[in-house]
Structure 1
Amino acid sequence: MTVVHRLSSEQPLFESRLFPADFGSRTAGVEQLARQLAATAVERDRLGGSAPRERELLRDSGLLTLAVPQAFGGQGASWPEIYRLIRFLAAVDSSLAHLFAFQHLQVATILLFGTAEQQRHWLTRTVEERWFWGNATNGRDTGLVLSRQEDHYALNGSKSFCSGALGADALVVSAPRGADSEDRVFIVLPSQREGLAINQDWDGFGQRQTDSGTVQFEQVFVDSGELLGPTGPSPRTTLRACLSQLILTQLYLGNAQGALDAALRYTREQSRPWLGAGVDSAGADPFIQQRYGELWLRYRSALPLAEQAAERLQAAWSKPALTAAERAEVALAISEAKIVAVRAALEITSQIFEAMGARATSARYGFDRFWRNVRVHSLHDPIDYKVRDLGHWLLSGQGPAPSLYS
């Protein structure tokens, strides 16, 4: 059973006074897509597995080319706009928003690491052939080996947490350049390449339809032109980790937004006042009012940090050359946003039940999915280390060193 009051064409998907959503000329299309995803979000979360129909809705929306530069036929949207779209979609369907977000991360990977010719080739095909991208880039997973053959390369091994891989048209893959190398290279592969097997084995209790299972490689052929490069590590290329971290931040905030909106509607329309409250409706209970006020402050405190971080990232992205110090400033801003967003989202998605009451725990509402999504995804990398990075910077003046997660 879905929350049908969200699907009425006469009502906004979210209350505009709480969560305004203005995407300019894209607003109508984004609203339509969000309504389509919302119509089955609760049921699909319960089922888990993959969501091929909803992936096609994303493809048909025309939004998969947002990050592709106009020179290659894409829309060349800014990162702040893309992040707002991710957050909005995450409020109705965090898993599909995740897939949508990772599409743009793979496009960005090609832009950061690919040669001019590789960018033109792969991104033009992305637009013309309406590609959906997946990834096999888990940097902590060392089970994949790239080896040199006579006139090409071969991939053997496996990767885990490969979001979007199942059903993708192409993959961005990462592997060490050699058996003993700590330097990794990004590789672009068609998903139907012989020897490549994409498994449907993701079973997390949240983000249940992100197609984040394992990918196995058995003597997979890799042409030298499919290795992105020769761009090496630089402050600019390490923006990839910043892009990824800010994607996670939007997913947290989107879940918080969706949970708070759903809980407010439920409280107004279905919650019953407590016996000792002495009021006619749950919304008139001063304790419930205070709780919602506190949760609103959590969300409103996190949102500006996410917006500011996106603007800083865009400014850095737009520079042809980036210094290490400038890159560190972006990473610090994103760490601040992510820490506050995680804390706000975990509090909001769990405490809404104390405002709604026991009946709201019924599985038919699916309100628990917001917390499960945040809880699973907030473990992507420990926020304690980001808090430590901030403290280290305050004491020493040194920003975080570029890594897979900062």
Structure 2
Amino acid sequence: MSSPPEGVHIIADDAEALAVAARLAEEFRAGAAERDAARRLPRAELDRLSASGLPAVTIPAGHGGAEVTARTLAEVFRLLASADASLAQIPQSHFVYIEVLRRQGTPEQRAFFFGEVLAGKRFGNAQSEAGTRHVQDIRTRLEPLPDGSYTLTGVKHYSTGALFADWIPVLARAGDDTLHVAYVPRNAPGVTVVDDWDGMGQRTTASGTVRLHAVPVPANRVIPHHLTFQGPQLHGSVAQLLHTAIDAGIASGALAEAVEFVRTSSRPWFESGVDTAAEDPLLIQRFGELAIRVRAAEALLSTAALAVDTARDDLTDHTAAEASIAVAAAKVAAAEAAVETGSALFEVSGTRSALDSLNLHRHWRDARTHTLHDPARWKVQHIGRYVLGGIRPPRHGLL
């Protein structure tokens, strides 16, 4: 586990958050291909991210944070993902579990954990489990003790961020089967984080296994997450908005790399009759098509973020549903744009682009891996039901 950086900066507002994200994206882009190829985990880069203050930008103003809009946060993630999709994925759960605290934390819990985040501490996650009936079949258990505390036991997979975390929020069920989040120190007794992630894409997220064996958890580190879904909520739309931003960032990053490659390294096809590949009318056509795809994904991302901000200002069943549907539409478009652009990069760049040493295939691998997070086909179903029958999307946290 990395130590929190000294002298963590506090970002003042949305404009500064975007400026810092743009600067870090350029910095992180320079080593992204090498990190992926060597599977060098981005510990130093994450420490720079923490020191910059970006992981604290959603902390409420009343607690000393910038409390940026969803639109700003989405753009922060898009910028980072355009440079390094693995690195951008790591803090996604960090922001989701800040939202859990905002929604269900007690004043004391919020004060403590928001202070931790402002000091540069990072949240990971331990949510998903393998071998269960479905994604919401959570078998990790919080067992109560006579003094009011708990022990936590279970095995989690795809635990992005846990290896680099100071705190690991763990999704678990209590004795009455209700869903809770336990915030556990990364180095707590009984916690083992295993770096066994071997995905073809997002290779440096370290999304491995977390084993929890009778982990002691004080009562004031447990949040009743099931209450989140008993009324209108933005848990799912905020989480999915960040996934959408990552996909949109992958698409824009792949397009930018294709443009640079064609301008500097590609040869024109001999039948084109032009001097450079960038003058080939067929390539121009294809780049135009790809640009439209990417711009559409970015526009839908912005629209979805605005819907989340609107719902946050006036949270009702209607505004929550509108936010979920807007995010779902953006997620479908961004996922398609990321996969298509990551693949088309080779189509427009030619044979040399397939050299493994260039590692241009990381964009497609990242897109193909990340877009498997939850099926777009179900998002399309919920959109169709809402449009045709006015049926609001379910409150299960994945929409």
When normalised by structure 1's length, the TM-score is 0.89
Determine the structure 2 residue equivalent to 1:268.
263
Residue-pair matches, total: 379
Say yes or no: does 1:359 pair with 2:388: no
Cα distance in structure 1, aligned partners of 2:55 and 2:319:
29
Call closer, same or farther: CA 1:375–1:327 in 2, change over 3 Å: same
Cα distance in structure 2, aligned partners of 1:192 and 1:311:
38
Question: 1:95-122, CA deviations, whole angstroms, 9 ceiling, x for partnerless residues?
Answer: 1111233322221121112112211111
SS at match of 1:136: coil
Call closer, same or farther: CA 1:214–1:52 in 2, change over 3 Å: same
Question: 1:272-301, CA deviations, whole angstroms, 9 ceiling, x for partnerless residues?
Answer: 011211111111111100100110111112
Determine the structure 2 residue equivalent to 1:140.
136
Letter in 2 for 1:134: G
The alpha-carbon deviation at position 323 of structure 1 amounts to 2.3
> Equivalent of 1:186, from 181, 187, 195?
181
Determine the structure 1 residue equivalent to 2:115.
124
Determine the structure 1 residue equivalent to 2:92.
101
Question: 1:233-260, CA deviations, whole angstroms, 9 ceiling, x for partnerless residues?
Answer: 3466741111111111111110100010
Determine the structure 2 residue equivalent to 1:50.
41
SS at match of 2:347: helix
Gaps of 5+ in 2: 1-13, 129-134
Question: 1:297-356, CA deviations, whole angstroms, 9 ceiling, x for partnerless residues?
Answer: 11112211110110110121233xx32232111111111111111112111111121111
Call closer, same or farther: CA 1:226–1:254 in 2, change over 3 Å: same
Aligned-residue Cα RMSD (Å) equals 1.8
The alpha-carbon deviation at position 27 of structure 1 amounts to 5.2
Determine the structure 1 residue equivalent to 2:9.
none
Call closer, same or farther: CA 1:141–1:212 in 2, change over 3 Å: farther
Range 224-233 or range 359-368, more displaced: 224-233
Call closer, same or farther: CA 1:230–1:44 in 2, change over 3 Å: closer
Cα distance in structure 2, aligned partners of 1:186 and 1:279:
61
Question: 1:367-397, CA deviations, whole angstroms, 9 ceiling, x for partnerless residues?
Answer: 1111111101111111111111122223321
Determine the structure 1 residue equivalent to 2:163.
166
Misfit runs of 4+, over 6 Å: none
SS at match of 2:90: helix
SS at match of 1:68: coil
Contact 2:310 2:319 (8 Å CA) reproduced? no
Determine the structure 2 residue equivalent to 1:285.
280
Determine the structure 2 residue equivalent to 1:202.
197
The alpha-carbon deviation at position 125 of structure 1 amounts to 2.3
> Equivalent of 1:348, from 341, 353, 357?
341
Range 146-155 or range 83-92, more displaced: 146-155
Determine the structure 2 residue equivalent to 1:5.
none
Cα distance in structure 1, aligned partners of 2:231 and 2:299:
24
> Equivalent of 2:227, from 219, 232, 236?
232
> Equivalent of 1:370, from 363, 366, 372?
363
Between the aligned residues of both structures, percent identity stands at 33
Range 202-211 or range 134-143, more displaced: 134-143
The alpha-carbon deviation at position 226 of structure 1 amounts to 0.9
Cα distance in structure 1, aligned partners of 2:226 and 2:373:
27
Call closer, same or farther: CA 1:67–1:174 in 2, change over 3 Å: same
Range 251-260 or range 355-364, more displaced: 355-364
Cα distance in structure 2, aligned partners of 1:298 and 1:340:
8
Contact 1:256 1:348 (8 Å CA) reproduced? yes
The alpha-carbon deviation at position 51 of structure 1 amounts to 1.9
